[in-house]
């Protein structure tokens, strides 16, 4: 039995994981989720604090603890690896942004060439170069319609602006075993774009999984399978 602590991305809601949670619990594991701060002044420290608080409040916390971070959560999750009541046995990045020391989340896009990679992937897959961003097309293209409508009907707000202005404070990646899971059909952070970043910044080979950017909503069973693998497929 492991405890999976699931950190959402820009949406900031624990709801993002609601299809994955029963998959993990059904296989005998425990799960911690949290909503991240929505105030515009909330930054990396506030996000890290919300993760730590959720774990500390969880009754009967079992080791090993696996920390999973989706997308923008890649900036916050590494900050808590030395602050949790149970040591982090593994950090898993899911379709995530990998920060460099001193880099802000706002700088990450240009530094990595995300816009160019997204445009090239769109052109290669028949959608034309540099298509306008659309939530349904970029994020929800492989999510079941009823789940998409539930997500979009909730409204929501953009992530806090402060989060994009603060330099990532660590001098190096935490000394925690790390894996990177990347959806093959991710239109926002394309597979080969992510492969290069993961090699350059983490010195790792990513693990391909089915699905797009929101794999926890579109492919929860396959994602649970990947999370429970101890070795890349």
pLDDT of residue 230: 59
Q: What is the per-residue pLDDT across 77-92, written as a single tens digit (0 to 9) for each? A: 999 999 998 899 999 9
How many domains is the chain partitioned into structurally? 1
Residue 170 has what DSSP assignment? -
The three state secondary structure string of 93-153 is EECCCCCCCCCCHHHHHHHHCHHHHHHHHHHHCCCCCCCCCCHHHHHCCCCCHHHHHHHHH
Residue 176 lies in a domain: yes
Residue 232 lies in a domain: no
Residue 208 lies in a domain: yes
Q: Is 147 left (phi over 0), alpha (psi -120 to 50) or beta?
A: alpha
Residue 233 lies in a domain: no
Positions in the chain short of pLDDT 70: 230-233
pLDDT of residue 154: 82
Q: What is the per-residue pLDDT across 48-79, written as a single tens digit (0 to 9) for each? A: 999 999 999 997 887 899 999 999 999 999 99
Q: What is the CATH number of the domain that holds 33?
A: 3.40.50.1820
Range of the domain at 172: 3-227
């Amino acid at each position: 039995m492991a405890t999976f602590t699931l950190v959402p991305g820009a949406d900031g809601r624990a709801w993002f994981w609601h299809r994955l949670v029963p998959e993990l619990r059904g296989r005998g594991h425990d799960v911690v989720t949290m909503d991240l701060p929505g105030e515009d002044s909330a930054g990396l420290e506030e996000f890290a604090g919300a993760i730590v608080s959720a774990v500390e409040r969880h009754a009967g916390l079992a080791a090993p603890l696996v920390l999973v971070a989706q997308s923008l959560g890649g900036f916050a999750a590494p900050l808590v690896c030395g602050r949790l009541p149970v040591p982090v046995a593994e950090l898993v990045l899911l379709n995530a942004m990998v920060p460099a020391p001193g880099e802000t989340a706002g700088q990450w896009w240009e530094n990595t060439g995300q816009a160019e990679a997204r445009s090239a992937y769109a052109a290669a897959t028949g959608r034309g170069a540099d298509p306008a961003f659309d939530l349904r097309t970029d994020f929800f293209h492989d999510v079941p319609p009823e789940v998409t409508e539930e997500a979009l009907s909730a409204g929501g707000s953009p992530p806090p602006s402060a989060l994009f202005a603060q330099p990532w404070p660590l001098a190096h990646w935490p000394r925690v075993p790390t894996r990177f899971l990347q959806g093959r059909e991710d239109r926002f952070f394309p597979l080969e774009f992510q492969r290069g970043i993961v090699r350059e910044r983490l010195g790792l080979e990513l693990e391909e999984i089915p699905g797009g950017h929101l794999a926890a909503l579109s492919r929860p069973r396959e994602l649970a399978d990947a999370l429970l693998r101890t070795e890349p497929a």
